[in-house]
Amino acid sequence: MTEDQKKEMKIFAYTHWRVCKELDTDTGIRDIEALKNVVTMPGGGSLTCLLGQKLTNKKDLYSQIGWLVYYTLEGEPLNSKNKATIVLAISWILEHYNIDYDLEQIGDYIENLDIMNKGNADISAWFSKELE
Amino acid sequence: MRRKIIRVGSSRGVLIPSPVTQAMGWEFGSLTELTVDQENNRLILETHQVEVPDELDEGQLTEISSLAEENKNLLEEIND
């Protein structure tokens, strides 16, 4: 793993811990390999948006968000609150990029997302459409 | 505040009154740090401090923390 990926895992784990602390639920990593998948994009890429790095275009940003959502839901790396953790992580990312968003809408979308029928590209497309 | 040392199984223990745990923000499972100060014949019990790893940006973690507080109700409603 790259140093960036290790940092991204720590930030995501912190986000999870923060959600659990707020909601008084079980914290912890259920599956470390699944968590590695969340921060490992094809071609040696990773979720640099979680590090606060400014991506040069929104397409790359939504591509990373789609990846984050899909592989967290698919692998369920956390002991609890996988969906709420994604929502909190995305809210930080969008705040960082100064992008207007409706967190309730994002929460509804992620809560009802059927990953048997939607892949990471579909999820990226949804964010791209809704946040433009 | 005086407290007696009591037997807890084969160990010795001191019960912590609830006003103290409330004041310290301690709950069941909270991590504490126990330090023996032999020179002054005292024992120090304090909240275990977690250090942020150097490579992480503390400002970012604070922002995430604030967003968690602000959106608590919304996060709570998400069925996981």
| Chain A residues close to B63, C-beta within 8 Å | 92, 95-96
Q: Is the pTM of this model over 0.95?
A: no
Are residues A68 and A89 in contact, defined by beta-carbon separation less than 8 angstroms? yes
Per-residue model confidence as pLDDT tens digits over A47-90: 999 998 878 889 999 999 999 999 999 999 999 999 999 999 99
Number of domains in chain A: 1
Query: Do A15 and B76 lie within an 8 Å CB cutoff?
Result: no
Going by CATH, does the domain composed of B6-77 fall within 2.10.260?
Answer: yes
| Alpha-carbon gap: A28 to the closest alpha carbon of chain B (Å) | 14
> Which domain covers residue A91, as residue numbers?
3-131
Per residue in B6-17, pLDDT tens?
A: 999 999 999 999
Q: Does B40 touch chain A (CB under 8 A)?
A: no
- The encoded tokens of residue A52 equal 């606060």
Q: Tell me, what's the pLDDT at B30?
A: 82
Percent of chain A's residues with pLDDT above 70: 100
pLDDT at B51: 76
Q: Do B56 and A7 touch (CB under 8 A)?
A: yes
ipTM of this predicted structure: 0.93
Residue B48: pLDDT band with limits 50, 70, 90:
confident
d(CA A96, CA A49): 9
Nearest to A34 by CA among A64, A73, A88: A73
